[in-house]
Amino acid sequence: MADCLFCKIIAGEIPSAKVYEDDEVYAFLDITQVTEGHTLVVPKKHVADLFEYDAELASVVFSRLPKIAQALEKAFPEMAGLNVLNNNKELAYQSVFHSHIHLIPRYGKDDDFSIHFGNHMADYPQEKLQAVAEKISKEFPHD
């Protein structure tokens, strides 16, 4: 896509710190380096976000995650954990609209990455959980 930052990076028109590349996937360091080794994994095919994936593209892109995670683990033996994060649309903190998966190595509780998980369990008794699940599950296409 013409004005896409990540398409330009994949094409080599904009420099990047490449970590991994194959025919379908490109991985490079996020310039913000939330933690050291913070890597973005992107499909070479331009898709804006997860809503534009099909199963085949997902299997291609997500299948690369273990080996990239394993390379990070070897490169940074002090790494104590890894967050995998995929933001979809602006409200969910997506800022470049070429789908990407963040791999964020974790080194300690004060390593400048955190997630807040709210807990609304009290608002969702079993019947309400079932109703929400039904609302979602009826949207799957039937064969």
Binding site for Zn ion (CB under 5 A): 1, 4, 6-7, 46, 98
| Residue closest to Zn ion, measured at CB | 4
- Candidate list 38, 46, 98, 100, residue with the active-site label: 100
SS3 14: coil
6 vs 28 by CB, closer to Zn ion: 6
Q: Which is nearer to Zn ion, 38 or 98 (CB)?
A: 98
- Shortest Å distance, C-beta 63 to Zn ion: 20
Query: Active site includes 100?
Result: yes
In angstroms, what is the minimal distance from the CB of 4 to Zn ion?
3
CB of 98 within 8 A of CB of 42? yes
Task: List, as one string, the DSSP characters of 66-134.
Answer: HHHHHHHHHH-TT--EEEEE---SGGGT--SSS--EEEEEE--TTSS--------GGG--HHHHHHHHH
**Catalytic site residues?**
100
